[in-house]
Amino acid sequence: MTYFPSNIARVPNMLLSNLTLGNINRTQVSLLDVQNQLSTGKAITRPSDDPVRYAGIQAIARREAHGVQIQRNLSNADAALGQLDSALGEVSDVALQAKQIALAQINATSSATERSGQATVVNQLIAGLLKTANRQGVSGYVFGGSTPGTAPMVEMNGGFRYVGQGNGLLADLGFADSVPITLGASNAVGATSARMKGSIDLNPNLTLSTRLKDLNGARGLGITTGPVEFAFNGGPTATVDLSGSDTVQDVVTKLTNAIQKYETDNSVTVLAGAGVTLSGGSIQINVAAGGSLAISDVGSGITAQDLGLSAAPFTPSGATGVALDAKLTWTTPISALAGITGGLGSIKVNNMGRAATVDLSGATTLEDIKSSIESLNMGLRVEINSNGTGIDIVNEVASGSGQSMSIEEVAGNNSTATRLGIRTFSATTMLADFNNGKGVQVVDGVINPVTSTADPELNYDFKITVGNAVPGATVKVDLRPQDVVSVQTVLARINSEIASQLPAQGLLATDVVAQLADGANGINFVQNGSFTQALTVTQANNSPAAGQLGLLNGTFNSGTNTYAGTDTAKVRVDSLMSYLIDLRDALTANDVNGIQLAGENIDRVNGLISETRGMVGGFAQRVTFAKSVEDDRSAVDTKVRSELEDVDFASAASRFSLLQTQLSASLQTTARMQSVSLLDFLS
């Protein structure tokens, strides 16, 4: 209400007017604030209302805005996972239908005509699977990996190539982080790339252009650049800063300049010959006769250690540092590959029923090898392995078993494929990779029911009949479990059996040799050139080993007296699409064994589909739980924000009424006081 200080006995009208007007204005401002609160429902509308509460409100508002986006992402992920589950369900249905067809058609009562008709049905299943593989969802193609804007599977020369890239997209889902909303190359549709892993460490040497980031370093932890210090023959110490170095050339140049300056400053001769140079995978510092150059890190630095310079002083007899283990890059020169000796020649590449000879003699870098192979347009991709030690060949095309990928030698080309580590049937090839991952099985430990002991006659796997006469000498090959590890172990065991059995039959141990040919893939038996009959291989004791090693359907070349086995280590895409093609082709050819094998593979892949579908279901549960958590958090934030920001209508209404009464009283009091003047006082 309007008042003036009691200690002011007499006041001018102007002062009294200002005092009363100020009080009225403050009342009106308070009344306006309450009116705004009642009209907006907000107790705090600007920072000046309450800085602390306003800061809390803004923090909650930012979290709520982020939460809204998270909820949108969760809804999107929930929809995407639902579409993935639906697509996987369709894929599983295709697999089950194909399995039922295979089971029905291995029946002896099925005719060739009936099987041919079922091949048409399988062909329709293949078309349906292709359509499902290219299904689009809320995030693009559901099986498109990290490139969901592109159809992931395309037809290619009778096969189907997966062209998606990456492992898939992950959504920002807060609590349910790392949830995939698309599946990549390892998806359960089976459009995965079968990889021919390089078996050779190409071991690149250092070059001046090698980047420091492409070195594992002497400690195997990469290269950290910084200052290092050095001293010659225990003399003064100098420092050279290697920070900012990008290539080996930068390091060599900085070291050379610093040492030459040291020579000038201290009137000594440190370097001899080529000075600072490279040797294999190491930095080499050639020191003058009788000298010793010690290099060490400054303080807690690790640069000298990483560059292999501090292990021991450099002397005329010890001029080489620790190897830096360079990684392969596409620009690595072929000439720098210590793992390859001699020039490259040609290799033969087979895939999708096509064969091509690739001349690598003109390749100067790994990029040239990559381009030469990929330009064949056979659905192959060349990669550097994760360790940076070799190259891998990836087959991206799902096709029939007869169109699988293989890489073999071209005779007279210095074993180029083997030396590059990319021959698919080499001495180091693991037998577990044979026959599309089924491996090689042998008979072992079979007990004679009469003697109750292991009988050698019941435990050998195949018999080699030598073409020396009629009947020829024979070798019974007993493969043991320890022999079926790699091609090399199998060859060693076969040659051991030959060497131990032929002399007892009047032949030399070397009259028959098992080996790999410099040419087509497969195990070859080369017999004495004077033998006039063909060498043969026959199965024994129902062992599948000979067939799985490709020895039963080989061919004999009388010109070279060589029995050449077939290649059972081909690389193909392990996918439902591949095995549907197998089933279709087997039904068309009326091949009962092929139908059975395709059915088994389809059943196995369907198990993987179920596992992937279960994984998707697990992610869907995580999303559902995350949505519940996000809803609860949002409710708590809304409650707290309301307590901080919203007005108490009852309190505000009561205050509004009091302010109205106060304003009315102030106006009445002011009016009465303004009606009394100084003249009234004097009178």
pLDDT tens string 318-353: 999 999 999 999 999 999 998 888 889 999 999 988
Tens-place pLDDT, residues 272-307: 999 999 999 999 999 999 999 999 999 999 999 999
Handedness of CA 462, 467, 470, 474 (dihedral sign): negative
Q: Where are the beta strands (DSSP E) in 288-389?
A: 293-297, 346-351, 354-359, 380-384
Please indicate, yes or no, if residue 432 is contained in any of the structural domains. no
Looking at per-residue pLDDT, the higher value among 265 and 660 belongs to 265
By CB neighbour count within 10 A (0-12 exposed, 13-18 middle, 19+ buried), where does 82 fall? middle
For residue range 363-372, list pLDDT tens digits in order: 999 999 999 9
Residue 243: pLDDT over 80? yes
Q: Give a yes or no: residue 393 inside a domain.
A: yes
CA distance 526 to 166: 46
pLDDT given for residue 198 in this prediction: 80
Q: Are 234 and 298 within one domain?
A: yes
Reference 61, options 653, 681, 642, 654; nearest CA is 642
pLDDT at res. 1: 46
Contact 545, 479 (CB under 8 A): yes
**Where does residue 580 rank: exposed (0-12), middle (13-18), buried (19+ CB within 10 A)?**
buried
Among the ranges given (78-82, 114-118, 257-261, 544-548), the one the predictor scored with the smallest mean pLDDT? 78-82
Tell me what pLDDT residue 165 has: 78
Q: What pLDDT does residue 101 have?
A: 94
Q: Are 598 and 126 in contact (CB under 8 A)?
A: no
Q: Calculate mean pLDDT across residues 198-219.
A: 92
Mark whether 67 and 179 lie in a shared domain. yes
With respect to residue 128, please indicate whether it lies within any of the assigned structural domains.
yes
Range of the domain at 500: 456-564
Give the CA angle between residues 127, 131, 135 to the nearest 5°: 165
Residues 6+ apart with CB under 8 A from 251: 212, 242, 245, 283, 307
Helices 576-588, 592-645: inter-axial angle, 10-degree rounding: 150
Q: Is residue 621 part of a domain?
A: yes
Torsion of CA 501, 505, 511, 512, to 10 degrees: -40
Higher-pLDDT residue of 549 and 386 is: 549
Q: How far apart are CA 160 and CA 28, in angstroms?
A: 80
| Mean pLDDT of all residues in 470-494 | 94
The mean pLDDT of 37-58, rounded to a whole number, is: 72
581 and 560 within one domain: no
Over residues 125-137, mean pLDDT: 90
What's the chain's Rg over C-alpha atoms?
42
Three-state DSSP state, 164: coil
Sheet harboring 406-409: ordered strands across? 354-359, 346-351, 406-409
pLDDT of 661 above 50: yes
Helix (H, G, I), strand (E, B) or coil at 122: helix
443 torsion bin: left (phi>0), alpha (psi -120 to 50), beta (else): beta
pLDDT mean over 53-82: 78
198 — phi, psi (to 5°)?
-60, 135
Does residue 329 lie in a domain region? no
Residue 131 lies in a domain: yes
What CATH number does the domain containing 613 carry?
1.20.1330.10
Residue 649's H or E segment, with its range, is helix 649-674
The answer to whether residues 556 and 594 belong to one domain is no
- The pLDDT score that the predictor gives to residue 646 is 67
Confidence band, pLDDT 50/70/90 cuts, at residue 61: confident
Q: Compute φ and ψ for 405, nearest 5 degrees.
A: -85, 140
Rounded Cα distance, 96 and 73, in Å: 34
Min mean pLDDT across 118-122, 225-229, 404-408, 666-670 is at: 666-670
> What percent of the chain clears pLDDT 70, i.e. is strictly above it?
90
- Indicate the pTM of the whole model: 0.78
Of the pLDDT bands very low, low, confident and very high (cuts 50, 70, 90), residue 9 is very low
The residue among 9 and 512 whose pLDDT is bigger is 512
416 with 534, same domain? no
Asked if residue 450 belongs to a domain, the reply is: no
Q: Are residues 525 and 601 in the same domain?
A: no
Contacts of 577 (CB under 8 A, 6+ apart): 126, 129, 130, 133, 153, 160, 189, 190, 191, 398
Residues 130 and 241 in one domain: no
Specify whether 556 is located in the same domain as 597.
Answer: no
| pLDDT tens by residue, 362-418 | 999 999 999 999 999 999 999 999 889 999 998 889 888 888 999 999 999 999 999
In a shared domain, residues 599 and 674 = no
Mind listing the pLDDT tens digit for each residue in 455-469? 899 999 999 999 998
- Of residues 59 and 333, more confidence is placed in 333
Residues 670, 2 contacting (CB under 8 angstroms) = yes
Cis status of the peptide bond prior to 471, with omega within 30 of 0 = yes
pLDDT tens track for 555-607: 999 999 999 999 999 998 888 999 999 999 999 999 998 899 899 999 988 88
Helix (H, G, I), strand (E, B) or coil at 46: coil
Residue 496 falls inside a structural domain: yes
Predicted local confidence at residue 2, as pLDDT: 46
What is the C-alpha to C-alpha distance for residues 195 and 188, in angstroms, rounded to an integer? Answer: 17
Dig out the tokens for 219 from the structure.
């400690």
Q: Name the residue type at position 18.
A: N
Answer whether residue 188 shows pLDDT above 90.
no
Residues 120-125, mean pLDDT to the nearest whole number = 94
Mean pLDDT of all residues belonging to the chain: 87
| Nearest Cα residue to 320 out of 206, 203, 204 | 206
| Count of other CB atoms within 10 angstroms of residue 62 | 10
Same domain, 67 and 186: yes
Question: What confidence tier does 151 reach under pLDDT thresholds 50, 70, 90?
Answer: confident
* 640 pLDDT higher than 80: no
Widest CA span in the chain: 161
Please tell me the distance from the alpha carbon of residue 134 to that of residue 511, in angstroms, as a whole number: 57
Instruction: For residue 287, list its beta bridge partners.
Output: 271
Query: pLDDT band at residue 680, thresholds of 50, 70 and 90?
Result: low
In terms of domains, do 173 and 227 share one?
A: no
Q: Please say whether the beta carbons of 195 and 583 come within 8 A.
A: no
Domain count, the chain: 5
Most confident of the ranges 65-69, 133-137, 191-195, 443-447 = 443-447
Q: Which of 424, 447, 466 is the last residue of a domain?
A: 424
Identify the residue with better confidence: 408 or 680: 408
Number of neighbours of residue 677 by Cβ within 10 angstroms: 10
Percentage of the chain beyond pLDDT 90 is 55
CA–CA–CA angle 422, 427, 431 (5° rounding): 95
- Per-residue pLDDT, averaged over 521-536, amounts to 95
Poorest-pLDDT segment among 42-56, 109-123, 519-533: 42-56
Task: Verify that 185 and 222 share a domain, yes or no.
Answer: no
Best CA proximity match to 229, nearest among 321, 307, 299, 276: 299
Torsion of CA 614, 618, 619, 624, to 10 degrees: 130
